[in-house]
Structure 1
Amino acid sequence: MARTQLILIFLLQFTAGISGNRFLYYRLGNDVTLPCDDVPPSTTRCSLISWLYNRRTDSQTTTKVKKGKVNQNLPGAERLSLSRNCSLIINNITAEDAGRYVCRIGDVAEFDRLVHLNILTISPSPPDADPKTDDEVTLKCSLLRFGSCPLNSIRWVDEKGTVLLGEGDGFKFDGQTDCVSLLTVKHQSSHNQQKIHLPVY
């Protein structure tokens, strides 16, 4: 069987969910801006804007920003700020930043804007595996998000868009457990590449 160059693309397939929700996908270490859509002109100074946060569906709500001011008592507060249009800026995102954010105007929830920050991590498993020298390496794709991941929602495809399932030339799909998907690939050449496709909803 011919040994062909394998280009890996991580294809995430999720339902966008309730209308008015934003779903954003980033890598660890990125700087991100969470938009607060359609903020009325009367709040341009952000004095009525609060940003609330939940890591999981069953977690306690944390107030990241209250009435335009960042809560300095929270871990990572130095990485938070508001833009001129009251969007929440998070610098150098970490795994702890993934979750659901709510932009609230005033003290009522009627016009809440919801933004889901999803963070993708890709690493060899075990961590000390070397993709450049090992005969084969298992790649671990983890998605940190608010809530669980549906079965088969994280898919691996090759450069032709073919979904990699089971076992084939140079790869073996090891399955998905919640928000973690594993793919074992054989070392084929020094020119192997990895590409990541992050959809925007």
Structure 2
Amino acid sequence: MMGLQIFVRLLLLTCLLQTGVRSVKDSVFVYSRIGDVALLPCTKPISAGCSSVTWTFFRGGLVRYSEEVTRGRVNPDSDKSSRTTVTSNCSLVLSDLTVEDAGSYVCMENKEAVTDAYLSLLSVRSGSPITELRPGGNLFLTCILFTYYDAGSCKSYSNVIRVNWLDEDGKQLPRDDRRHKVTENTRCNVTLLINLQAEDNNRKWSCQVDTTENKKVTFLDFRSSFLFQNTLTDQTVKPPVTEECLAELPISRIVLCAVLPLMVCIVGFFTWKSDHKRAKISAAVIELQDVY
């Protein structure tokens, strides 16, 4: 009896598949960079005006679900509302991307899923203090691809995605040599340690995302601009500048240096004159008192 029930269910499922009664949706993988703009396509033709379209957002790990677009209009309660627009073909555009935007987006028409769009975002961070940006210093860079499920782990795409560090010529840096050390924490979390030399000033280092379907889907550059052009041993000690009215001073300071002593002399003259006059008057008063 149990075998007959299983056979009937399989027969019904086969009939449904043959008659086309099934949900078919597209999967799209979108890669962008923190701060950039991402276009999430709704891949199938939808009725004009997008009034039947809903976009939902899901982020794995710390589970989060929200409805970003309802009936073709951006949800004002969404924390992405100010950065979200809907195109004429009902695709979703996100601007000023942040880490929290990485996730799974679903375009639905009349509650039927049309497109799954998986957004991953690339970020490069420097762990070195700015004083290390000089010849002889160490530059520590971390490149992370924030995936829709778990940032930096690539769990769901372990054989699909890889993050690499490249030099200025676009060549992959060696894992470990005299100047570079590349550490792959995961396929989507790779660190680079560089022992800087003088020629590295303003040099470009690139973190690139490769997939099995498409080489170089996105990349992000970092330039090692030096704070100090020379090391401390190369710097010359200059004598302190004294507060004098030199020729190279601004005109306003030259005028001040010239006028200030003159003003002091004038004030001193009038003060002396006033004191001298008061002294003469006092002497005259004393003489009159003596007469009387």
The counterpart of 1:174, out of the listed 176, 183, 186, is 183
8 Å contact kept, 2:53–2:110: yes
The counterpart of 2:56, out of the listed 52, 56, 77, is 52
- Specify every segment of 5 or more residues in structure 1 that has no aligned partner in the other structure, as ranges: 1-18
Is the aligned partner of 1:90 residue 2:90? no
More strand as a share of residues? 1
TM, length-normalised to structure 2? 0.54
CA distance in 2, matches of 1:181, 1:129: 21
8 Å contact kept, 1:124–1:131: no
Instruction: Return the letter of the residue paired with 1:72.
Output: P
**Displacement of 1:155:** 2.4
Task: Give the match's secondary structure for 1:153.
Answer: strand
Task: Give the match's secondary structure for 1:37.
Answer: coil
> Aligned pairs, how many?
177
The counterpart of 2:104, out of the listed 83, 100, 103, is 100
8 Å contact kept, 2:126–2:140: yes
Report matched runs for 1:1-201 at 5 Å. 20-40=26-46, 43-56=47-60, 59-109=63-113, 112-126=114-128, 128-129=129-130, 132-133=133-134, 135-147=137-149, 148-149=153-154, 150=158, 153-158=162-167, 159=169, 161-162=171-172, 164-165=174-175, 167-177=176-186, 179-188=188-197, 189=199, 190-198=201-209, 199-200=216-217
- Specify every segment of 5 or more residues in structure 2 that has no aligned partner in the other structure, as ranges: 1-24, 210-215, 219-292
Structure 1 segments of 4+ aligned residues over 4 angstroms from their partners: none
8 Å contact kept, 1:83–1:89: yes
CA distance in 2, matches of 1:197, 1:178: 12
1:90-129 deviation per Cα after TM superposition (whole angstroms, max 9, x unaligned): 12111111111111111123xx201111111101114x44
CA distance in 1, matches of 2:108, 2:86: 14
CA distance in 2, matches of 1:106, 1:93: 28
CA distance in 1, matches of 2:125, 2:49: 41
**Displacement of 1:22:** 1.5
Instruction: Tell me which residue corresponds to 2:278.
Output: none
CA distance in 1, matches of 2:51, 2:77: 19
Q: Which has the higher contact order (CA 8 A, sep 6+)?
A: 1
8 Å contact kept, 2:57–2:67: yes
CA distance in 2, matches of 1:68, 1:185: 49
More helix as a share of residues? 2
**Displacement of 1:35:** 1.0
Task: Give the match's secondary structure for 1:45.
Answer: helix
8 Å contact kept, 2:162–2:187: no
Q: Structure 1 stretch 168-177 or stretch 190-199: which is displaced more?
A: 190-199
Task: Give the match's secondary structure for 2:82.
Answer: helix
CA distance in 1, matches of 2:189, 2:170: 23
8 Å contact kept, 2:103–2:147: yes
The alignment-based identity, stated in percent, is 25
